[in-house]
Structure 1
Amino acid sequence: MAGQPGTRSGRRERLAQRAAKPKFNPCPPGQIGGAYKPLTEAEIQRIYGAALDLLERLGMGEVPERLHADLLAIGAKDDGFGRVLLSPALVEKAVDQAARTFVLHGRDESRSIEVGGNRVHFGTGGAAVQTLDLDSGHYRPSTLEDLHDFTRLQDVLTNVSWFTRCCVATDVPDRFDLDANTVYALLKNTTRPTATSFTLAEHLEPIVQMPDIAAGGPGEFAKRPFMKAHISPVVSPMRFGEDAVDVVYECIKHNIPISCITAAQAGATAPATLAGFLAQSLAETRASLVMVHAIQPGFPTVFSNWPLVSDLRTGAFSGGSGEAAVLNAASAQLSNWLGLPSGVACSMTDAKAIDAQHGMEKGITSLAAALAGGNLIYESSGMTASLLGVSFEAFVLDDEMHSHTYRALRGVEVNEETLGIDAIRDAVLGEGHFLGGRHTFAAMERDTSTRRLLIGTSRASGLNGARMTPGHGHVFGRGRFYAIITLPT
């Protein structure tokens, strides 16, 4: 009898521990991908050979003067008709000397991630001009306030690894003001790794003073850059864009890691066939690689061949299609085959509402890219309406989707503990079930990815406008749709 109070107390402690949120995420970002290989080795070789042939025989057009001189200095050839030819030897030298991995720092160093290898990270991206309003349930032009709110929201979502602006502040018409205010929103509202874009090269010099201030003074940001730049220096098909190339030079000058994005559209700016698209996209991404190599070999760069798909019957963008899923997976496979940090864009649903189409398209495309080993999967959080829209509710749902994807990537661990032979024997010879067993509770704490997330609908006024603070369950959203989430401390 004397031991009973202690026994009850111990049971209460165990129940309280199990009711509390998990002490760690059993399937955190950075799980290993690469098991899904849509291309065979022979197919990769043919696509790579076609890309090399395009660069050697057709080359790149509209090469800016400064880049033209730098490319010729490392062995490129001018064909005399306005195009610069890149030999296979030059391309392969650039591949050999490229950065294989690099750290994408957070202002909070504990949130930094390593880019490259076979690690998979979901993040954000996009330039939506419409936000799905929480109050009205209708789309409206995105604002600077929305950008601040989206940045604050993602900062507490467990499975987002970095934040790139997901919407354009349409209420800031001046291009310099837009670039500056976007950087400020990122600095003010998150300590995660971030990314932004710069409209013109001359914007960088004054704007970089802000991350310098955040880092502790002039020149400090360059020592440990916690923001990268998204740039599209190649304009499909097979030519450079002068303004974007100028931004590349300026980013390298300020030691800002870059993501060189090629975003061709099948049937419009690239072949409609999947193989042809991959050959051209790979050629264009390798042209970006040679450009970086000509400026500063080995500079930290993500090579992002983003396949965009059109419905050829209507001309409409089709970001949630099966073709988008397999093309992005194949693009990741090609970059990983070369050993280069890969970036793809998935979860670009064409659905305007948060509905079954939304979930299906996002789930299929993002899982395919993750299984193929895309290092950085852009556009994967919050985007709707073929990238024209972004949604607060979708951010929360997508974060949950990412947790399940990471669990799928983690796979099945087979060892003495997980085989559970003793647990099977104890259940068979004992109570006949596994409920309440030590083995079951250990697995729940160690392996279960399910987080305390409730999605529902209500019109109760008590749900409207609740504040989000770390460490507690809170209501997020207003009106008909809401999400109750347990935010990390």
Structure 2
Amino acid sequence: MSSEGSKRSGRKARHAQRAAKPVVDPCPPGQKGGAYKPLSQREIEQIYDTALQLLERLGMGNVPDKLAADLKAAGAQAGQQDRLLFPREMVQRAIDTAPKSFVLHGRDENRSIEVGGDRVYFGTGGAAVQTLDIDSGLYRPSTLEDLHDFTRLQDTLANVSWFTRCCVATDVPDVFDLDVNTAYALVRNTTKPVATSFTLAEHVGPIVELLDIVAGGPGEFAKRPFLKAHISPVISPLRYGEDAVDVVYECVPHNIPMSCITAAQAGATAPATLAGFLAQSLAETLASLVMVYAIRPGFPMVFSNWPFIVDLRTGSFAGGSGETAVLNAASAQLTNWLGLPSGVAASMTDAKAVDAQYGVEKGMTSLAAALAGGNLIYESSGMTASLLGASFEGFVLDNEMHSHTYRALRGIEVSEENLGFDAICHSVLGDGHFLGSEQTYAAMERDYFYPELADRQEPRTWQNDGAKDAWSSARHHAKEVLVGHHPQYLSAELDAEIRKRFRILV
């Protein structure tokens, strides 16, 4: 072969190698966070002490009778206006006995993740009542079909580590049918860890029956629960919500792990000052932990302190703000300091379209939460319009964004080999560049992430290829998945058994 032919052959081989996925994923989920610390040690201690004072001197109101009895048995004391006070020793016992990590199981064990420590995972949350239509580009009410489609789409996205239903099926008016069909959509379309909410406590038992069918028989789900509950048992400021507390009581005997979510709003249901906000919301999430401790010490709970910001000029939710970024990062830092599995929220852009505002707000808030070490970062995929909307294109774009974030978290590995003194000398004294060196080829496969959607072409090539924007590329990818990915995670027999017992609407 001529030298020119050899060069062409080598160039084709290198292009093929670059087009293929790397042998080693340079940015898998579960990277270590915690480098960003918006609070000093002294500030953490001040916030924590204020939270303990709030629980000890002001306490919690609207305590349901059953919970009040359990809390008093665990050490709570009567306060003014029928409030219950939590001595700091009681709060500390709840922290000490809480699991510091636990597994969120997938039905496919290879998709299970361990929550806690310094590992970071992106996932979903939200209860969007509108969907950004993939064809019209306009919002419409979310449907049960949308939920099935979102679940199928995210099943193919490696950086969505667990899936909480992201939208509410507004076309299912009966709340029991809604809860059942939501759970069914999750188990039908993915084997990742999943999560949902229960509208009423009496819905928990029947849905566990559905999950038992999927797991292989009565009682099997509880042995290895692959669904967790999202519950907000505390209503800001500093009172319990009876319906949500009832759901907690139903979840515990079925061994359903839970994310107990505090969602105070600065200047509305919590102080507008950021430090005061953190103190109150920490106290409220600790009140959820104390509640779980009083019911069953050591039960798995994600400490989900989600600071929410409102625009104080208008009252509008501001999920993409810089304040949201720093508060959720601080929340992750506080929870990790306590040694508890942390849950925070990010990527809650206020943008309605997938545009520049969308990219800035999602990138800023999700990177801050990850750098601070949030174990589970909720709302991080697909959400738009201040959590009122969900987008198929958004899921695809956010999945690629998370890869960049994981790569940033991975950091820089410093070793004698990577420092490459000999390689530098060889290139400087030889070809004068590093383009064809073995070290460059090795680093190319090991250290760099190559996006599929982000465009890195020069302008003329981009124009000749149709001048596509990111939204168009993401829409094309999402449509391909929705046309081609129809997983069969339920056998015909299991599906028939579920449909015999429940009113399945799809």
Tell me the TM-score normalized by structure 2.
Answer: 0.89
Aligned to 1:452: 452
> Could you tell me whether the CA contact under 8 Å between 1:347 and 1:383 is conserved in 2?
yes
Partner of 2:480: helix, strand, or coil? coil
Instruction: Say what the alpha-carbon RMSD is for the aligned residues.
Output: 2.4
* Distance in 1 between residues matched to 2:356 and 2:189, nearest whole Å: 31
> Could you tell me whether the CA contact under 8 Å between 1:156 and 1:470 is conserved in 2?
no
The size of the alignment, in residue pairs, is 471
Partner of 1:299: helix, strand, or coil? coil
User: Pairwise mapping of residues 272-291 of structure 1 onto structure 2 (< 5 A)?
Assistant: 272-291=272-291
* Distance in 1 between residues matched to 2:35 and 2:80, nearest whole Å: 45
Partner of 1:208: helix, strand, or coil? helix
* Distance in 2 between residues matched to 1:262 and 1:116, nearest whole Å: 18
> Shift of residue 89 of structure 1?
0.3
Q: Quick check: 1:211 aligned with 2:224?
A: no
Aligned to 2:399: 399
Give the AA of the match of 2:264.
A
> Shift of residue 232 of structure 1?
0.2
> Shift of residue 19 of structure 1?
2.7
* Distance in 2 between residues matched to 1:260 and 1:122, nearest whole Å: 18
* Distance in 1 between residues matched to 2:472 and 2:445, nearest whole Å: 35
* Distance in 1 between residues matched to 2:244 and 2:452, nearest whole Å: 43
> Could you tell me whether the CA contact under 8 Å between 2:396 and 2:477 is conserved in 1?
no
User: Pairwise mapping of residues 259-298 of structure 1 onto structure 2 (< 5 A)?
Assistant: 259-298=259-298
Q: Quick check: 1:127 aligned with 2:127?
A: yes
Aligned to 2:363: 363
Give the AA of the match of 2:405.
T
Aligned to 2:247: 247
Partner of 1:425: helix, strand, or coil? helix
> Shift of residue 360 of structure 1?
0.4
Aligned to 1:63: 63
> Shift of residue 451 of structure 1?
3.0
Aligned to 1:332: 332
* Distance in 2 between residues matched to 1:165 and 1:277, nearest whole Å: 28
> Shift of residue 402 of structure 1?
0.6
> Could you tell me whether the CA contact under 8 Å between 1:21 and 1:452 is conserved in 2?
no
* Distance in 1 between residues matched to 2:46 and 2:472, nearest whole Å: 57
> Shift of residue 18 of structure 1?
3.5
> Could you tell me whether the CA contact under 8 Å between 1:60 and 1:83 is conserved in 2?
yes
Q: Quick check: 1:183 aligned with 2:196?
A: no
Aligned to 1:98: 98
Indicate the larger mover: 23-32 or 246-255. 23-32
> Shift of residue 17 of structure 1?
3.5
Aligned to 2:500: none
> Could you tell me whether the CA contact under 8 Å between 1:56 and 1:86 is conserved in 2?
yes
* Distance in 2 between residues matched to 1:164 and 1:407, nearest whole Å: 24
> Shift of residue 6 of structure 1?
11
**CA distances 1:212-234 after superposition (whole Å, capped 9, x unpaired):** 12211111111111110000000
Partner of 2:303: helix, strand, or coil? strand
Aligned to 2:47: 47
* Larger helix share, 1 or 2: 2
> Shift of residue 23 of structure 1?
3.2
* Distance in 1 between residues matched to 2:484 and 2:425, nearest whole Å: 40
> Could you tell me whether the CA contact under 8 Å between 1:310 and 1:318 is conserved in 2?
yes
Gaps of 5+ in 2: 456-467, 486-506
Q: CA 1:359/1:179 → structure 2, altered by over 3 Å: closer, same or farther?
A: same
* Distance in 2 between residues matched to 1:465 and 1:99, nearest whole Å: 38
> Shift of residue 96 of structure 1?
0.5
Aligned to 1:484: none
* Distance in 1 between residues matched to 2:138 and 2:2, nearest whole Å: 64
Q: Quick check: 1:468 aligned with 2:481?
A: yes
Aligned to 1:441: 441
Aligned to 2:502: none
Aligned to 2:410: 410
> Shift of residue 15 of structure 1?
5.1
Q: CA 1:465/1:443 → structure 2, altered by over 3 Å: closer, same or farther?
A: closer
Partner of 2:228: helix, strand, or coil? strand
* Distance in 1 between residues matched to 2:92 and 2:394, nearest whole Å: 41
* Distance in 1 between residues matched to 2:482 and 2:319, nearest whole Å: 34
> Shift of residue 16 of structure 1?
3.4
> Could you tell me whether the CA contact under 8 Å between 1:128 and 1:388 is conserved in 2?
yes
* Distance in 1 between residues matched to 2:484 and 2:136, nearest whole Å: 29
Partner of 1:343: helix, strand, or coil? strand
Aligned to 2:346: 346
Indicate the larger mover: 175-184 or 24-33. 24-33
